[in-house]
Each structure stands twice: as C-alpha cells, then as structure tokens.
Structure 1
Amino acid sequence: MWRMWMQRATLCCVLLETFIYNAQGLNMCMSGSATSCEECLLIHPSCAWCAQEDFGIGRTLPSRCDFTSNLVKRGCDTRYIESPQSSVSVLKNDHLSSKGSGWTHTNVVQIMPQKISLSLRPGDQTFFELQVRQVEDYPVDLYYLMDLSLSMKDDLDTIRNLGTKLAQEMGKLTSNFRLGFGSFVDKNMSPFSYTAPKYQENPCNGYKLFPNCVPTFGFRHILSLTDKVDRFNQEVQKQMVSRNRDAPEGGFDAILQAAVCKEEIGWRKEAYHLLVFATDDVPHLALDGRLGGLVQPHDGQCHLNEQNEYSASTQMDYPSLALLGEKLAENNIFLIFAVTKRLYVIYKNFTALIPSTTVEILDQDSKNVIQLIVNAYNNIRSKVELSVWDHPEELSLSFTATCQDGKPLPGLRKCADLKIGDTVSFEVGVEARSCPPRGTDQTFTIKPVGFKDRLEVTVDYQCDCKCTQRAQTNSSMCSSIGTYTCGTCRCESGYLGARCECQEGEAGSMYLSACRETEGKQICSGRGECSCNQCLCYESEFGKIYGRFCECDDFSCARHKGVLCSGHGECHCGECKCHAGYIGDNCNCSTETSPCVSDDGQMCSGRGNCVCGRCQCTEPGAFGDTCEKCPTCPDACGTKKECIECRLFNSGRLADNQTCQRLCKDEIITVETLKTDDPGAVLCPYKTDNDCVMKFTYSEHASGHSILTALKEPECASGPDALTVLLAVVGSILLIGVVLLGVWKLVITIHDRREFTRFQNARSRARYEMASNPLYKQPVTTHSVETDFNMFGKSYNNGGL
C-alpha cells in the first residue's frame, strides 16, 4: 500500500513538474538539444525521443526530444516513442518464519523478499518494500573476551563459575546457546610490556602483592564455542593474570582476531553472534604501534598459530576503528563493551564509530556481568537496523521505516522497542544518478545489522534505446556518408547537417539566422561557430559547452564551498539538477531527516526544526545534534527524573528495561551528599511516591555528554513506629489525666485548707470569757450613786455604795 502510494506520488510529481515547465515555457527536454536518443533519456525521466523517420519534415531544426504528450501532438506515432520506465521484479520471496512454528535453524527466514531485480532509468526513482521479523528461540553464540592484565585479578575470581550461571539465564531466552572464552593483555614488546630478561617468564617478578604471573601475550583463544558450559568453568579456573607496562590494553587486536577467525572460534552462520569485551581500561588505537616501531597497518586477517595465540602481535599495528567496524559487520557480530563506570563515556563514543556495538557498565569485580549480558542481548533483539553493502556510486537510496505502530517514518532505516515476533517493514527508494559503462553488472545487498539474512538486489540500467538496434550504416537517408539510427543521422567525420549534406567549413548568410537564439544575439552565443545551419560549440577546459545555440554548459552552476552543485547534483545548462535526497540552488541541503530524530522518536527532540539534515534548535538553551541537551528547558528536570527512577530504582514510566536503556543514556553518578556549587548544573528535586524527596543535578560537559549526579537514596523522614505512637498517645492521655487529677487535688486541698483556716479563725474568736460577753448580765449589779447630804452642818460626798 505504501509503495503504491509512493509510486503514484512520484508519477504525480513528474506530471506536475512537466506541467510547470510547459506553463513557464522552460521545456527541459528541448533546452538540452539532445542529439541522440540516449542523450535525451539522460536529461529527465519525463523526456521521450521520437524515432519516427518522417517526424519534423518541413521544420528547420526538428526536436525529437520532448515530453511524450508534445511529441504525440506534433505527429509522432506512439510506436516510435522511446521512453523506458523503471520497474521492480521479485526473484525470490520466501515467507517469513513464524515464531513457535517448529522450524529448523538452517531454513529460518527473517527478511522478505530475498532477491529482486531493478530496471532503472536515470533520474526516475522507484520503490520496493522489504519486511523483517526476528523469530523466537534463535541460536546464540557468545564469546567472552576478557582482559587478563593484573588489575582484572578480582574479576577473574568472580567469573570462575560464570558458564553455569550464564547458561541458566540465557536458557530462558534461547534453547540453543553456546559459550566460548578468550583473553588478552597487550603486545609483548617495549614500550607496551616489560621486556627485561627477568620479566620474560614472570612479568610480576618483584611485585609484592601478586608475585606470580604468566608471560605477557597479545590474544589467546582458549575455548571454542561449545554447549558444554562445564568446560568453560574448567578453562577459566586454569587462567592466571599477566602484566603489561602501560595503562592501555591490546583489546582491539583481540576483538579483530575473535571476529575474523571464524573456524577457530566456531561461529555458526545460523546464530546470533555476541562478543563480550570485558576490561577496566582504555584500548590502544591504530598508530599507537609506531611507538614500538610497528609501521605495518593491520591486514584484517586471522593470525592464530598452533597454540591459538595471535602470532602477528609484534608485527602489525593495532587495527583502526573503521577496520573493526567492517569486520564485525562482515561477520554479523554484535560487540558488547563491558567496562567500568569511569570508562563508560569513552567506549560510548566508540559505539558511534563502530556499528552494532553497545556499552554496559561493569562492576569493579564483574559481579553484574550476567545481568549485563542479558540486558545487552535484550537491547540488541529489541531493534532492527538496515545496512547497505557494495552500494554502487551511481545509485541514490532513501528509506522509510514502518515500525510496530504502523506509522511511516521517512528518512529512518531502523526500528526500536520491538518484541520477538514483531514484523517491521521498510520502503526503499532507488534512483540511478547516471549510467555505468555498458556491460557492467551491478548488485548490492541490504541486510539487518547482525543478521545472516539479506536481500540481494540486481540492477539493470535503462540507458539504451531499442531503436538503436535497427541502425543502418551508410544509409541513403544520411547521403550514404552516415549511420541512420533512431530517426537521426550520425555523420562521418568532416560532414554535418541533418542528412550529412554539408561539409565542415561551409558557411554562408543563409545559415547564420539558424545559429542565433533570437535576433540581435551573438551567433552561437559567442561560444561556437555556425556551420551548415547548426552551431559547432567550442571546447572548454572547464567542461562541456552544448545546446542548439551553445547557450548551455555543465560548469556555470552554483557552487558550495567551491564544489559544483555541492557534489550532490549535476550541472545542466546553468541549473543544478540535484540527486535524490538533496534540494537547493546548489544542492547543499539534504532532505534526510534521520539525523534529526532523537532517541525518543521526536524530530529535534521537539525543540527545533530539521533544516538540510541538521537540527536548528528554537528552544532557548537547547543544543546538541538533535537538540536533546537543554538544562534550562522547563521540562529538563522532568525528563531526567524518569531516567533517575528507572536506572536507579527500576520504577516510573520507563521502568521497562529496554525502554530505559534506549532513552536514558546519560551517565549517572550516585553520591551520599549532593553538592550544588557547580554553576553549570541544574538542581532538580522531586517528590517520590513514598513522600520522600529525591534530588539530582543535571549538567552538560564540554565533551558533549550529559552527567546526572543523584543521591543514592531519597531523603525520607523516618516513619513513626505504630506501637510507639500508640503507647505515646495512651501515655500522654494518662499523664494528662494524672496531671489534671493532681491539679484538681491541689486546688481542692488549698480550698479546704483555706476554709479550715477560716473556720479555725472563727472558732478562735468564739472562745471568749463569759464576762466579756456583752450580752451576759451578772445577776448582781453594782451601781455607784453619788449623793450629797448635809449632816450637822457638814457636807458629805458618797462616791458610791
């Protein structure tokens, strides 16, 4: 359905373009002044050639190259019109294998179709569709490649029983699992290793902590892939560490040998190939070998001797990243970097340069290696990405992915967040830019990364016209001095004219008017000579001058950084004709949108616009290739919060491991105490479901990677104990009751005492003498009466009686 829609859209575009050119009077087919059918076909997919013999009789200079509709209007019979179209033929189309259908591993089909043939006309884009499905219970070959330098001694102790445990975990994912083992240290030469005689047999000689080591070696293949996991344990238990001199290791030498020595390692064609690379340091890169005098580049071949050791370690330089990526892809190997946290960013940068690689953080003693491998395997099987092999230069490819949601995604060639058994489809657009030399057979291959299944595409170019097969030499139509083909004459050297009727050098006023584009303009545009009613264009050191009036050339088009049409188009009569996937006056603007799609599937992370294949961020403070970095954006803390929850606590919306691994790729550092003195860091607190407060900082480093620094545990107020609370409440109530009773008792006591005192006082006042009672009267009263009497002439005063 999508292919039919695209083909119809392409046809509509061609018709619309034809209409626009006709409306503007800019007929591209006629302006090219094609002199042969082949030249006409190369101008534009809508151009056609009329091979009819009597076409154009009566016209001075008939143009046989035009739009089909114009040729028909001008009297050309459709039988003589040459206008081949692109087509697709499916040669092999076995159905996809279904999960749980009881198939054998040798006839599994995970891509459909398997072989097609394309017939392409230059400039005409055609489409075909392919489908991919990852089947369930697919065989897995896992080769464990371990750094056995001295610093990995504790890791070696940890993995001594790795085989059994790993087989149990992988048995949950596949019933056909094989395991192998290899080790590496570094080149046994100066300055990479200790070369003094006393260190040859024991490079740890004199080292107090670990006095015994095996001699330094580059790469040693120890156990071929086998389903006998006990053998893995036995071989690992025999191993001893070695010692090299500098910090970097020779791991890339080992990776290349493990990839290309297919028979020795035992890689099966019908299995997923996983190569686990465990180390705690950085690797040596290409050109580092020159420090030891190794100037010969690595040849990419297998060099294992009879002892299964890398024999060319001291003869060739370390391999380059490009060579590693090529050999891993060629042998369908997924590389898993299992490295310590401090090396995560370094190896993460390697994954951008080496396809089909992932990075996982390894604990200091490799305790989490099993979960690490399982996570990486699930991550690998959750996505499908197409790769193109042996891509011819004459072809331009475009991709449109339709993933599990059914929505077409132009510009993408991969799908993520898939489950085993999901079917995804890809629409592939193919356009031929030019014609290769005749007789050249071209093929290319499209395959999902890491799959053995592939789609083989054979390409045939529609660059020749059928009418050339009826060519007549020394034809009377050409005055017997030329070859008549496709309605025109190809004159022998020294002759000109539509019918070879003129000789070179003949000129006259009767022909000059036919050599001017319009009256008043120069003859042949000043860039040619008029001979026999037609222009002979001069040669130029800059390129080709052509056209009916020598008005066109292929070098006067717009340039970008000094490159004509930016190298992404052809210069045609002063105008750049861009290849598929590019637009603009100088073809410098790419229409590819896949570089603008962020990990969450949004275009430019929703913070910008995709212009010419690059994101132009519109959100203040946003930056990065896909505008994914924006510490000051309002939603920055909210976005990173979900990654903190899923990575540290396995909770939240992204708790699904595959989703978390895909969307949360920032480095996370956990600390006991969060410091906020970094001016470039944004503090992000939030409240958890348990009403705790989680805090982290988000910062962008100069190297371009994001770092999240978070607390190991949220800050939580310790929850009260229920029994303690109950006892405290009951105790508080009892205490308050006792206090209240005490207060009441005290008040009553004070009141009683006051009353008693008052009573006592009253009682004391009641104790009085009877005589002192003013109400009491004595039964006998005495009264003093003063009387004066005169007796015998004397006065007497009686004071009382």
Structure 2
Amino acid sequence: FSIIGLICYVFAITAPPPPAQTAFWSLNMCMSGSATSCEECLLIHPSCAWCAQEDFGRGRTLTSRCDFSQNLQKRGCAARFIEYPTSSISILQNRPLSSKGSGSTQYDVVQIMPQKISLSLRPGDQTWFGLQVRQVEDYPVDLYYLMDLSLSMKDDLDTIRNLGTKLAQEMGKLTSNFRLGFGSFVDKNMSPFSYTAPKYQENPCNGYKLFPNCVPTFGFRHILSLTDKVDRFNEEVQKQMVSRNRDAPEGGFDAILQAAVCKDEIGWRKEAYHLLVFATDDVPHLALDGRLGGLVQPHDGMCHLNDKNEYSASTKMDYPSLALLGEKLAENNIFLIFAVTKRLYVIYKNFTALIPGTTVEILDQDSKNVIQLIITAYNNIRSKVELTVWDHPEDISLSFTATCQDGKPLPGLRKCADLKIGDTVSFNVSVEARSCPPRGTDQSFTIKPVGFKDRLEVAVDYQCDCGCSRIAQTNSSICSSIGTYNCGTCQCEPGYLGARCECQEGEASSMHLSACREAEGKQICSGRGECSCNQCLCYESEFGKIYGSFCECDDFSCARHKGILCSGHGECHCGECKCHAGYIGDNCNCSTETSSCISDDGQMCSGRGNCVCGRCQCTEPGAFGDTCEKCPTCPDACGTKRECIECRLFNSGRIADNQTCQRLCKDEIITVETLKTDDPGAVLCLYKTDNDCVMKFTYSEHVSGLSILAALQEPECGGGPDALTVLLAVVGSILLVGVVLLAVWKLVITIHDRREFARFQSARSRARYEMASNPLYKQPVSTHFVETDFNMYGKSYNGGVH
C-alpha cells in the first residue's frame, strides 16, 4: 500500500460507529428474537454479532445468540466463537498523480488516485475511502469544430477561414499538444425539413436572389480528422460552401452524436481532453421531430459514416434524445461547448442542465469572437472537477464530501470549482450496502471525473455469510441425528422441533404452557401462534412475518407514508421502523441528505432557510427556489447583484477577479439603453459609482428559473457646471429677489399713503364745514390807518400809523 492508501485503510477500519448505530445500540435490536441463524442475525444491524458456541445460554429462560459483541462475552461466549464481520477496504492500484502532461500519446498521465480498490461490505455498516483528483498541466487537447453550414451562417463561414492558425496560436499558450478537426451539418435532406423538389436537389438556393448558389442539403459531413497541421484546417474551411434547409431548426444533434461515437474517423485520442465546439445560430431538432417526416425508428447511438464521411442514416432514423446524447458524450469523455447567438442563450443554457459536461457561450453574429469563446470555455472546463458514478449497484448507498482548495470539507458535494491548472482536490466517499445480493453475484462500480479518461474502479464483496457456516455438520449427534448443526444451533429436519430436535410437531404439555406466555395473564404465544415443545410456533400471515419468543413481533405493524411501509426507506422490526442510513422519522420519510440544499456559494439554503428532509424551507420573506437562491425583494438582493454588474460589465468591484466573478455571478446580464420599470416582477436597483454617477439596473426571475439583470449601458453622469452661468444665475437671482422685494415694499407704502391721505381729506372736509356754518364768528382784530406829517432834521416825512 502507499502511505495515503494505508491512512485511508486504517481510518476506515478504526472509524467510530455512526450516530444512527449508537441510537440502535440502546434499543438492542439484535435481541428482537427474529434471528434464527447467524446470517439472519448479521442482517438485522451492523452492530449485531452471533455466538456459535455450542453450550451458550444453557439453563437460561431467555437465550439469544444474536446480541452485541460485548454482551455476548459478558454472558459467557468466548471471543473465538463470536461472528462479527466488519467492512474493510483494500487498495489494489495506487499510482501517484502526475504533475504534468506530455506531448507523447504513449505517456501515461495519472489524474486520479487510487485507480483500483476492493470493498468488503457488511450490510448496514458504513465505511469510507478517499480519492484525489488533479488537473495536470500541459495536457493534450483535441478540438473538433462542428459548424452549422445553413444559409444564415454564410458570414460566419467567411470569418473562420483562417481560424486554424489563430486558434493554434492561442491554444499553444495552454498546451504544447493541440490537434484540430472540422465537420459541418445542415439538416435531414427530406420533407418537411429540406427542399425536395427536383429543381432544388443540386442547388437548394435555386431562385433565391440574395445568394443563388449553394451545395445540396446534407445531415452531417466529417471533413477533417483531428490533426496538428492547422493549415489543413484553413484549406478545408476555404473549400466549404453553405447549403439551405426549409425549417428554422437544424439537425445539429445528429451531427453531435456522430462526432462523439465515430472515434476512429474523427481521431479522438485516449489521453487528451476532447472538446467539441458546436457553432449555430438556431435551435436544434429533438427526438420525435423525425416523425414529421415519417421517421419512427429511434436513434441507435451508433456511428453511421459512409465512405464519403457523410452521415448515411440521416433519412432512416429519428433525431437523438437528450438522454442518449448525454450518455454518449460522457462515455467518450467529450466536453461539448455550445457556441450560439445571444437570442438562443437561454434555450441552450437549459440543455446544459440536462447534458452533463456541457457549457454555453454567446457567439457574435459573424463569429468574430469564436477564438476568445473557445479559450474562455476551455479555462472554465479546466477550472472545475465533478465526479460521476457509473454502473452504480442499487443496493449500495454512496455519499460524497468534497475538500477543495480552501481545505474546508463540503458534505454532500461531489465537485470543486474555481481551480487552477495543477491544483489537487480530494473527496471522501462514504459507502454502505443496504442488502445482500444473490450468492455468486459480482458487484462493481466506477467513479469518474466528468470528461476525464482516468477513473477509479471499485470491486465490491459482501460480508453476508458466517465463517462457522463453512463447517456445518449434517445429521449431527448434537441434533439427535435428525438435524444439521450450524453455528451453535440445530436446523431440524421437517416434523421435528426443539433446541436439539428432540420434539415432534404436535406434541404439547399443558403443564409447560407457561413457557409460551410473555407474562402472567397474557395470551399463549400472544394469540398469534401455538405452543409446541415448550416454545411458540408463530402462525403465517399474508401481511408479513410474525416472530419473537412469544410471537409478539411482526414486520408489518409499522408506520406508513403514502401507503408504503416505513416509506420504503427502512425495515419494520417489532412495530417500529428502523430506517436505512440517510433517513430518519417515525416512518423514515425524512432524508438527512443535505447536498440538494447547498447553494452554489456553498451555503445551506443560501442562508435564507432550513434544510428539512432534503429540501429547503425558505424562511426569508420573498425567497424561493430549490436552495432559496432567488430573492428579488431581500434587503441584500440589489447589493449582491451590484457586485455582479460591476465585475461583469466594468471589471471592477470586490469580486473583479475572473474566477470569483464567474463562480458567483451566473445570472444573464443584458445591457439596454432604457430600463423598463413597468414589469411587476422586476426590482429596480441603483447605486452611486466612484465618479458620483448613478448606475441603474433591474433584477427579475423568469419562469425558466433564470435570473435576468438588465443594466444601462453606461452610468448616468451629469455634465460639469459652467462657472459663468452659475455666477450670472446667482446674480440674476439676487437682483430678481431685490426687485420683487422693492415692488412689494412700494405697494405696501402706496396703499398706506392712500389710506392716510383719504383719512386727511375726510378730516379736512369736516373742518371746513364747521367754520362756514358759524354765523356768530367775527374777526377779533380791526385795522385803522392814520396819516401824519412831521419834520425832522430839516426833512419832511409822511407816514401812517396802525
């Protein structure tokens, strides 16, 4: 064993029993009385052991050879007679992980460790093993470019005529061993999918004014096998001409399947990443569409290329189903990249959920961005590891715990994302067998990372037989020579009973009937059996099995869910459901699996609810979705989506690095010139940028489950203020306010003066009337003139005196 393998092995052997086993411990299910042989005892519960000692329990009123191992030892069973098998792990092949790929196809690159293990499982006993996966550097890449050559793709064909050289230059930065191939498709050359009139047979574009010449319609045509001579790619592409079909959907799924299964013709290498780029501008035909043209035979999933490398069964079989397509892509380790126009993004995004290992990227109308699209998709593929299980036996339960780059265990997850090339991730796998298969049945399964050639092969052996059964003695004297002595008990011949086959059926003694009563006053054998040879023989029932020392137990009187006993996820033991691993509850209807509750960001129910019975119950008002991931009205919805707007549109913000942005921001973001705010299901969000501009966007959830963010193309920013305009505006405002105040003041003074003048006029009128109306009024002074003449200093003066 390697060091890692030895650690895993020791951990699996010495790990403590799971919590469910501890709960059963106190119930002592082993002593239920249902086990009459060692094999039956081992199937009750993984904690149960069987004592094969001959004289065990003699002289006791209740003897059960099936019990917990320590209880059996306390009751006198020697350790060498105790049958107690446990699950174990053996590592068969454990080559170390490679650190780098190679340009040679003979180089054996290892990306998963270990490669082969063997499990020895006891039913109900849970055990663990670990595995590691690494995306090695400089791994060979095979890329097959599958192009829609219908008439609407003519401008795209002109764009990719020199694609081979440019693509090889870019892929050369990622791998030193790159090969490129080319194929094309249109649709089935039959009605109603294509034009079938005689004049269209050689030229389907006959009479089409915009483009009058094109080649006959074909289903799929393999043009160039994978090669490292990229000039060949350019040469072949330059020879191609478009064709024309009648309806809008294309026959692309026919072409994808042929490109996947025709391994020798395409040239897929075993030790290389297989990339299949599917470029189109329309939707595909799906299974059952072929019935429109009378094709009722389902696709057989086989390669049908003729000597001209054309799909020869195009007009004989229906289009392939999504399930068949996913199966064949996974079987041949092919990563499918949908390169589609923007209007088809949502449709093909839904396809990726149904076809494992596929991605979708938006293709420009003329395919100008096809190289960057391929590089982005390749980096996205290499940034994650996801495990799948092949040929999984129904009676084996598997659960995964992923440990990614941050070192934090993620229970229930079998994938890691945001990885760098060369990173190593580990997974812990819990295994439990629920039952025993028929004897001689070999069981195995395979764990395989999506798109990898590497795999872990797991062989399974079951611990369902006891070692003491190998030395059983027939016609043993211990069993009165009429029975088989096996693991400490006698298996009597028909018609005989008793611990040593000493009694015959029908013999009974009334004085020993008390040995068949559970307690005084209780019915003999609980009313469901007969007392024979001092022991109860339980009746048969059409509902199930009746058992126990006093026939007090059965396997059908337990709680049911939707009419199914113990919900089908447990066993009924003496009126109580004993649930299988991963289920709890009185009727075992509640799953303890939480993987379905983990959201993409690693939180349980996105932090907005609780995981109950394997499903999220959202507690945040307005939250919905399988993991409560959708919540347009949550307080943090706008804030969360703002970070996605910043990183996706402007490459800024807290999560601006490409890997974090791609992992957390999976919503579709569209840019518009004007936001529509009349949608009742959309939430309007806005925030201020660092330049004091305002960015607006809406957030809505569509019925398809896809979140849509509609954002303005650019933030709204006001122009800088003009200083002169501001000055004139301020001065003008002050003058205007002054003039208004003066006018108001003048109006107030005028009104006041007019009132005062009116009051004065009124007083004057009253005074004039009073003077004129007094007839007795006389002037108080009278004036008299007196003339005088006198001489002074020789001069004569004449004057008057008043």
TM range (shorter): 0.7 to 0.9
Distance verdict in 2 for CA 1:291–1:104, change over 3 Å: closer
> CA offset at residue 88 of structure 1?
1.0
> CA offset at residue 440 of structure 1?
1.5
Distance 1:203 1:440 in 2: 58
Map of 1:6 onto structure 2? none
1:128-166 CA distances to partner (integer Å, 9 max, x unpaired)? 111111111111111111111122122111111111111
Report if the CA contact (8 A) 1:617-1:623 is conserved. Answer: yes
Distance 1:175 1:14 in 2: 41
Which stretch of structure 1 is more off in the superposition, 643-652 or 738-747?
738-747
Distance 1:659 1:793 in 2: 138
Which stretch of structure 1 is more off in the superposition, 713-722 or 741-750?
741-750
Distance 1:707 1:65 in 2: 61
Q: How does the TM-score come out when normalised to structure 2?
A: 0.86
Distance 1:769 1:786 in 2: 40
Which stretch of structure 1 is more off in the superposition, 51-60 or 519-528?
519-528
Distance verdict in 2 for CA 1:124–1:231, change over 3 Å: same
Distance 2:668 2:560 in 1: 43
Distance verdict in 2 for CA 1:431–1:189, change over 3 Å: same
Distance 1:573 1:778 in 2: 146
Distance 1:671 1:498 in 2: 87
> CA offset at residue 361 of structure 1?
1.2
> CA offset at residue 739 of structure 1?
25
Which stretch of structure 1 is more off in the superposition, 521-530 or 405-414?
521-530
Which stretch of structure 1 is more off in the superposition, 297-306 or 783-792?
783-792
Distance 2:791 2:700 in 1: 140
Report if the CA contact (8 A) 2:258-2:311 is conserved. Answer: yes
1:454-475 CA distances to partner (integer Å, 9 max, x unpaired)? 1111111111111111110000
> CA offset at residue 390 of structure 1?
0.9
1:744-786 CA distances to partner (integer Å, 9 max, x unpaired)? 9999999999999999999999999999999999999999999
Aligned 1:141-290 pairs, distance under 5 A: 141-290=142-291
> CA offset at residue 105 of structure 1?
6.5
> CA offset at residue 228 of structure 1?
1.0
Distance verdict in 2 for CA 1:513–1:212, change over 3 Å: farther
Distance verdict in 2 for CA 1:566–1:365, change over 3 Å: farther
Q: How does the TM-score come out when normalised to structure 1?
A: 0.86
Distance 1:40 1:773 in 2: 148
Report if the CA contact (8 A) 1:696-1:711 is conserved. Answer: yes
Which stretch of structure 1 is more off in the superposition, 276-285 or 101-110?
101-110
Distance 1:643 1:131 in 2: 32
> CA offset at residue 480 of structure 1?
0.5
Map of 2:520 onto structure 1? 519
Report if the CA contact (8 A) 2:363-2:373 is conserved. Answer: yes
Q: Percent identity?
A: 90
Which stretch of structure 1 is more off in the superposition, 654-663 or 390-399?
654-663
1:12-46 CA distances to partner (integer Å, 9 max, x unpaired)? 99999999xxxxx7321011431000000111111
Distance verdict in 2 for CA 1:763–1:516, change over 3 Å: closer
1:422-467 CA distances to partner (integer Å, 9 max, x unpaired)? 1111111101101111121211111111111111111111111111
Report if the CA contact (8 A) 1:378-1:658 is conserved. Answer: no
Distance verdict in 2 for CA 1:14–1:504, change over 3 Å: farther
> CA offset at residue 708 of structure 1?
1.1
Distance 1:795 1:641 in 2: 123
Report if the CA contact (8 A) 1:105-1:138 is conserved. Answer: no
Distance verdict in 2 for CA 1:286–1:544, change over 3 Å: farther
Distance 2:528 2:398 in 1: 38
Distance verdict in 2 for CA 1:223–1:761, change over 3 Å: farther
> CA offset at residue 192 of structure 1?
1.7
Distance 1:13 1:303 in 2: 47
Report if the CA contact (8 A) 2:558-2:566 is conserved. Answer: yes
> CA offset at residue 100 of structure 1?
8.0
1:252-306 CA distances to partner (integer Å, 9 max, x unpaired)? 1111111111111111111111111111111111122222222222111111111
Distance verdict in 2 for CA 1:776–1:653, change over 3 Å: same
Report if the CA contact (8 A) 2:35-2:41 is conserved. Answer: yes
Map of 1:101 onto structure 2? 102
Aligned 1:136-535 pairs, distance under 5 A: 136-535=137-536
Q: Following TM superposition, where does structure 1 have runs of at least 4 consecutive aligned residues deviating by more than 6 angstroms?
A: 11-19, 100-105, 720-801
Report if the CA contact (8 A) 2:102-2:140 is conserved. Answer: no
> CA offset at residue 226 of structure 1?
0.9
Report the aligned-residue RMSD.
8.4
Distance verdict in 2 for CA 1:798–1:146, change over 3 Å: closer
Distance 1:682 1:325 in 2: 37
Aligned 1:111-130 pairs, distance under 5 A: 111-130=112-131
> CA offset at residue 510 of structure 1?
3.9
> CA offset at residue 534 of structure 1?
2.6
> CA offset at residue 356 of structure 1?
0.9
Distance 2:673 2:643 in 1: 20
1:228-268 CA distances to partner (integer Å, 9 max, x unpaired)? 11111111111111122222211111111111111111111
> CA offset at residue 482 of structure 1?
0.7
> CA offset at residue 668 of structure 1?
1.7
Distance 1:228 1:775 in 2: 144
1:489-515 CA distances to partner (integer Å, 9 max, x unpaired)? 111122221111122222332443333
Give aligned pairs, total: 786
Distance 2:288 2:401 in 1: 39
Map of 2:616 onto structure 1? 615
Report if the CA contact (8 A) 2:141-2:178 is conserved. Answer: yes
> CA offset at residue 184 of structure 1?
1.3
Report if the CA contact (8 A) 1:105-1:139 is conserved. Answer: no
Distance verdict in 2 for CA 1:771–1:96, change over 3 Å: same
Report if the CA contact (8 A) 2:97-2:134 is conserved. Answer: yes
Map of 2:22 onto structure 1? none
Report if the CA contact (8 A) 1:14-1:46 is conserved. Answer: no
> CA offset at residue 564 of structure 1?
2.6
> CA offset at residue 660 of structure 1?
2.2
Which stretch of structure 1 is more off in the superposition, 252-261 or 283-292?
283-292
Distance verdict in 2 for CA 1:620–1:795, change over 3 Å: closer
Distance 1:796 1:753 in 2: 58
Report if the CA contact (8 A) 1:92-1:114 is conserved. Answer: yes
Distance verdict in 2 for CA 1:502–1:342, change over 3 Å: same
Report if the CA contact (8 A) 2:8-2:130 is conserved. Answer: no
Distance verdict in 2 for CA 1:221–1:615, change over 3 Å: same
- Classify the secondary structure of the residue corresponding to 2:740: helix
Which stretch of structure 1 is more off in the superposition, 109-118 or 734-743?
734-743
Map of 1:131 onto structure 2? 132
Structure 1 unaligned spans of 5+: 1-10, 20-24
Report if the CA contact (8 A) 1:383-1:418 is conserved. Answer: yes
Distance verdict in 2 for CA 1:800–1:253, change over 3 Å: closer
Map of 1:546 onto structure 2? 547
Report if the CA contact (8 A) 2:103-2:177 is conserved. Answer: no
Distance verdict in 2 for CA 1:789–1:417, change over 3 Å: closer
> CA offset at residue 633 of structure 1?
0.7
Which stretch of structure 1 is more off in the superposition, 621-630 or 593-602?
593-602
Distance verdict in 2 for CA 1:483–1:729, change over 3 Å: same
> CA offset at residue 373 of structure 1?
1.0
- Classify the secondary structure of the residue corresponding to 1:767: helix
1:387-430 CA distances to partner (integer Å, 9 max, x unpaired)? 11111111111111111111111111111111111111111110
Distance verdict in 2 for CA 1:734–1:789, change over 3 Å: closer
Report if the CA contact (8 A) 2:101-2:139 is conserved. Answer: no
- Classify the secondary structure of the residue corresponding to 1:733: helix
Map of 2:14 onto structure 1? 18
Distance verdict in 2 for CA 1:763–1:473, change over 3 Å: closer
Distance 2:436 2:374 in 1: 48
Report if the CA contact (8 A) 1:412-1:593 is conserved. Answer: no
Report if the CA contact (8 A) 2:49-2:67 is conserved. Answer: yes
Distance verdict in 2 for CA 1:475–1:220, change over 3 Å: same
Distance verdict in 2 for CA 1:549–1:212, change over 3 Å: farther
